[in-house]
Structure 1
Amino acid sequence: MAPGVAATAGSAEGFMHLVDPNRKWYNNKRLITLHAWLVLLLITSSTNGFDGSLMNSLQSMTQWETFFHKPEGPTLGLLNAIQNIGSLAGYPFAPYLSDGIGRRPSIWIGAVCMLAGAALQTACQNIHQFIGARFLIGFGLSLASNAAPMLVTEVSYPVYRPQLSSLYNTLWYSGNIIASWSAFGTSRINSNWSWRIPSLLQAIPSFFQFFLIWFVPESPRWLVSKGKETQALHTLAYYHADGDESDPLVLYEFEEIKAAIKMDREAKDRVGWLALVTSRGNRKRIGIIIAIAWFSQWSGNGLVSYYLNQVFDTIGITNTDIQLLITGILAIWNLFWAVFASFQVDRWGRRFLFLTSACGMTLFFTLQTICSAQYALHGTQAAAHAVIAFIFLFYAAYDLAFTPLIVSYTLEILPYSLRAKGFNVFNFTISLALIFNQYVNPIALKNIGWKYYLVYCCWLGFETVYLYFFIVETKGLTLEETAALFDGEDATQLQKVAHQAADVRHEDYDEKSSKPEDA
């Protein structure tokens, strides 16, 4: 068995034989409704993607640069980093809101903050207001992005959970595309509305969430944790079995959720922040989570995400229209590969996707570095064009795993009692990595140019080795079974408890339904 591979034989049978083969997402009205509500949650990621691309596009706009007096160096680094600084300010509150008042209210509060931030950014009159607006957007995003992906993961129909939770981070590129192409179109407006219009568009996802989030079903796991078991069973039955509370799959899900939460409560080392590091299984979880969070922002992609215009400058592409056009095309390319990978997670497996992604990134970033050096040293135009090609190939490799899997994999390996806190650590790590990148990248690019790429070439090699030894395969398991995979026999115990309890409850339903009604 290769390092990091977990044996899942037999455990995949935990729920699949209980699934109605005729109930598909496209032929069942309640599954269609459920997925419509899940789209409302998935677009939370669009706000983040919009912001990343927006700052990239604004730096290519003469109107924006003129209005803010051509920010550069530390000021430009702050403008890019302030959204993540705002997120850092929100992280201490995010897990307590998600676990305390519920997933839906947390998303609503985050939407309110982001709406206020987008309004201020659109109407700002100076750089200080612009910075404040981006701080507020980051603060709201930290609240919403903690709760939304958890709710997607916890309410999804089990068969489609891996794909849907993988799509969450993938839709980062939907916001990226809207920002790139709206900026490309409005850049021709000879006024400050060229950058104010894209800033206003950033509020679209939050606008819909503000009004519609209360129609989305609350997490059955959160409901069980708050003693609302009847409501949790009703939610599972309504969306997963057309309202049939005696459905074998629904009963299995319900009993497994109850058993997992009960086990966590009975073990004192499974609750609270210290629980993230007190057991061997949790230390392995948190090590993987911190690693993939850091890798997702420190693989060379940060150069393209926030400073693509400066990368273009190093290879002689200085025309604004061409820069914006390439940015827009790259966003569509990324979305295609990320969506494609999202639908392969249960077919190819998480481990295969992570390793293929890391090897591909290492190869293409190294080739990009070589071509950048050739242009810088010899002025070779063919090398400059090759850099663009290798950027596209690098992102195809990146999107195989580090767009779709980092959120879904993090959430599925965490038990319910630690999910909000562990996911907060994940988001916190990403923000730290982003802030570091956004301050260091422009300074390093300005001072040493293509030689800075060599740092990432070495780091990508390290990433590949780490992932080979530590990534655990999780396909074919329920959410509770996946989380328990790191805790030895807990996965088997959960299955037995859930099967036994579900069988008993199913027999009780059968007996009640077979009794004649009273005259």
Structure 2
Amino acid sequence: MAAGAVAGGHSSEGYLQFIDPNRKWYNNKRLIYLHCWIALLLITSSTNGYDGSLMNSFQSLKLWNDYFGHPHGGMLGLLNAIQNIGCLAAYPFAPYLSDGLGRRLTIWIGATIMLGAVGLQGGARNLNMFIAARFLIGFGVTFAANAAPMLVTEISYPLYRSQLTALYNSLWYSGNIVASWTTFGTEFINNTWSWRIPSLLQGLPSVFQFFLVLWGPESPRWLMHKGKETEALKTLAYYHADGDDTDPLVLFEFNEIKAVAANVGWSALWSTRGNRKRMMLIIAIAFFSQWSGNGLVSYYLNAVFRSIGITNTTIQLLITAILAIWNLCWASAASFCVERAGRRLLFITSTAGMLVFFAMQTVCSARFAITGNQAAAHAVIAFIFLFYASYDLAYTPLIVMYSVEILPYSLRAKGFNIFNFVISVALIFNQYVNPIALDAIEWKYYIVYCCWLTFELAFVTLFIVETKNLSLEETAALFDGDDIKNAMDAVASDIRSDDMSDDKGSGSRSYTPSAELKA
């Protein structure tokens, strides 16, 4: 309850009082430019979404199965898991590149590796080449996926930061849609191009990033961390205030960033009570995002189809493609509700819905297995769609946004790397265990996830901290206590005083750090 009090009181003293009500995303040229750059960053998530659907679709393609000897069991688990094993190999390096070389250059390096990897996958002559390519895809995408969402949240106009960062992970489904419908179309090509074309198209987002990302804006927080304060102020002013470096919002953002700047090591992630709470939440939602039963559909939907008697390849691919569109619509809609509904309500509603609909999916799967009732099989498909509608309320849009926003700059790259690491570990477990468990006990395996979802619901109800309508630096006050809150209040007070002086005719205002910040 104390956290809620801080959030409510501090929000009114934060950035909202400095927002120009006439500056909107659709009527300001600089904001339009900024959002075009952000769109280039958001498509990083599409690459991951493309990969998830690609392997699902390939398992339904007869030509792919014939070419690679019908992989199953442990080999099929390896084919799905190897991408995340590649991610694990890159995690020790990703935060150092993001913090050392900058967000833009790290994304460019990831895009370069991705282009080589998808070329190898599209030209694979045997299973070993295909596995090596998927390892490199995971290795390359880790660099881009570590830096891109941080850059989105660090350059966004404050009024739209939450929605845009939430949209990042929601666009996972845009790649999912392209992969699903591409494979649905190439199914009718009677040669290896039926799977080579979808493989090569996975590199399309990386092509755009390879040629364009280095021309975009760098993170003002990274620039300030590197001692480039003038460039940081210029970047904030150019995109957030039409180039006016004396704008109250720009000065507030600049001073906030400076107030919390620090250089810390990995041990800082657990060194304070606030940081331990951050890491508990980040690790928990990372696990929950992959251990909620969604992994069965994301990577082994064809096995679920077979368990309820749907064996036609065209029907399997069509349902997969329609499900991708369904998910994108729900996730995108939820992304634009994060400030109105709040994080807690979305997490609780999402988890409760998943529990109800996954339980119903389990019941209907059991009924079909025992009685062969076709209506029960059709109900399973319906409950899969309803389960994902619930999942998409929080676990698609919020997990990246929430993890990034509750981490202060000094911990953001390292903490977000932990988030991605946990997701990869959870995925590797699921990708190995799920096909074996489904083969062994079929629908009874669903009961495990029903029990786990009950625990998830209790956790998010008890521990999720509300952060709506706060800036990145203000959010730190919810975890770090009154010291940083007082610093933020001092920033706002100084800038309001400057505004009052201007109104009295004191002349043009120049940037001067507050006494609190100098100290």
After TM superposition, the score normalised by the length of structure 1 is 0.96
- What corresponds to 2:467 in structure 1? 474
- What corresponds to 1:154 in structure 2? 154
CA contact (8 A) 1:256 1:497 kept: no
* CA displacement at 1:4 relative to structure 2: 7.3
- What corresponds to 1:513 in structure 2? 508
- What corresponds to 2:319 in structure 1? 326
* CA displacement at 1:496 relative to structure 2: 2.1
Q: Distance in 1 between matches of 2:6 and 2:275?
A: 19
* CA displacement at 1:514 relative to structure 2: 8.7
* CA displacement at 1:214 relative to structure 2: 1.2
* CA displacement at 1:434 relative to structure 2: 0.2
Q: How does 1:420-439 map to 2 (within 5 A)?
A: 420-439=413-432
CA contact (8 A) 1:246 1:506 kept: no
CA offsets per residue over residues 346-381 of structure 1, 9 Å max, x none?
A: 000000000000000000000000000000011010
Deviates more, 1:5-14 or 1:342-351: 5-14
CA offsets per residue over residues 184-222 of structure 1, 9 Å max, x none?
A: 000000000000000010000000000000121000000
Q: Distance in 2 between matches of 1:5 and 1:123?
A: 54
- What corresponds to 1:11 in structure 2? 10
* CA displacement at 1:513 relative to structure 2: 3.1
Taking structure 1 as reference, are residues 300 and 192 closer, same or farther at Cα in structure 2, changes over 3 Å only? same
Q: Distance in 2 between matches of 1:494 and 1:133?
A: 49
Q: Distance in 2 between matches of 1:307 and 1:442?
A: 7
Q: How does 1:167-316 map to 2 (within 5 A)?
A: 167-261=167-261, 264-265=262-263, 271-316=264-309
- What corresponds to 2:514 in structure 1? none
* CA displacement at 1:501 relative to structure 2: 4.5
Q: Distance in 2 between matches of 1:375 and 1:105?
A: 53
1:418 has 2:411 as partner: yes
SS in 2 for 1:200: helix
Q: Distance in 2 between matches of 1:504 and 1:93?
A: 44
SS in 2 for 1:10: helix
* CA displacement at 1:498 relative to structure 2: 1.7
Give the letter for the 1:322 counterpart: I
CA contact (8 A) 2:3 2:478 kept: no
Give the letter for the 1:238 counterpart: Y
CA offsets per residue over residues 57-99 of structure 1, 9 Å max, x none?
A: 0000001000001001111000000000000000000000000
Taking structure 1 as reference, are residues 109 and 398 closer, same or farther at Cα in structure 2, changes over 3 Å only? same
Q: How does 1:25-104 map to 2 (within 5 A)?
A: 25-104=25-104
Q: Distance in 2 between matches of 1:383 and 1:483?
A: 49
Q: Distance in 2 between matches of 1:404 and 1:514?
A: 40
CA contact (8 A) 2:347 2:395 kept: yes
Q: Distance in 2 between matches of 1:240 and 1:255?
A: 15
Match of 1:369 among 362, 366, 391: 362
Give the letter for the 2:248 counterpart: P
SS in 2 for 1:153: helix
CA contact (8 A) 1:5 1:471 kept: no
Q: Distance in 1 between matches of 2:370 and 2:88?
A: 40
Unaligned runs of 5+ in 1: 266-270
- What corresponds to 1:125 in structure 2? 125
Q: Distance in 2 between matches of 1:440 and 1:499?
A: 52
Q: Distance in 1 between matches of 2:197 and 2:117?
A: 14
Q: Distance in 1 between matches of 2:488 and 2:414?
A: 25
CA offsets per residue over residues 370-405 of structure 1, 9 Å max, x none?
A: 000000011010000000000000000000000000
Deviates more, 1:11-20 or 1:420-429: 11-20
Q: Distance in 1 between matches of 2:190 and 2:381?
A: 29
CA contact (8 A) 2:74 2:432 kept: yes
* CA displacement at 1:490 relative to structure 2: 3.4
Taking structure 1 as reference, are residues 439 and 180 closer, same or farther at Cα in structure 2, changes over 3 Å only? same
Q: Distance in 1 between matches of 2:269 and 2:119?
A: 38
Unaligned runs of 5+ in 2: 511-519
* CA displacement at 1:316 relative to structure 2: 0.2
1:453 has 2:452 as partner: no
* CA displacement at 1:494 relative to structure 2: 2.9
CA contact (8 A) 2:26 2:32 kept: yes
SS in 2 for 1:454: helix
Taking structure 1 as reference, are residues 380 and 277 closer, same or farther at Cα in structure 2, changes over 3 Å only? same
Q: Distance in 1 between matches of 2:167 and 2:487?
A: 28
CA contact (8 A) 1:173 1:331 kept: yes
* CA displacement at 1:11 relative to structure 2: 1.2
Q: Distance in 1 between matches of 2:46 and 2:9?
A: 38
Q: Distance in 2 between matches of 1:483 and 1:182?
A: 43
CA contact (8 A) 1:111 1:144 kept: yes
Give the letter for the 2:448 counterpart: V
Q: Distance in 2 between matches of 1:191 and 1:359?
A: 45
Taking structure 1 as reference, are residues 132 and 505 closer, same or farther at Cα in structure 2, changes over 3 Å only? farther
Aligned-residue RMSD, C-alpha: 1.5
Give the letter for the 1:353 counterpart: L
Match of 2:381 among 369, 388, 391: 388
* CA displacement at 1:495 relative to structure 2: 1.7
Q: When the two structures are aligned, how many residues end up with a matched partner?
A: 507
SS in 1 for 2:245: coil
- What corresponds to 1:144 in structure 2? 144
After TM superposition, the score normalised by the length of structure 2 is 0.96
CA contact (8 A) 2:246 2:509 kept: no
CA contact (8 A) 2:110 2:143 kept: yes
* CA displacement at 1:40 relative to structure 2: 0.3
1:408 has 2:407 as partner: no
Taking structure 1 as reference, are residues 514 and 47 closer, same or farther at Cα in structure 2, changes over 3 Å only? closer
Deviates more, 1:273-282 or 1:437-446: 273-282
Give the letter for the 1:460 counterpart: L
- What corresponds to 1:268 in structure 2? none
CA offsets per residue over residues 3-47 of structure 1, 9 Å max, x none?
A: 975642221121111100000000001100100000000000000
- What corresponds to 2:517 in structure 1? none
Q: Distance in 2 between matches of 1:507 and 1:104?
A: 38
CA contact (8 A) 1:110 1:140 kept: yes
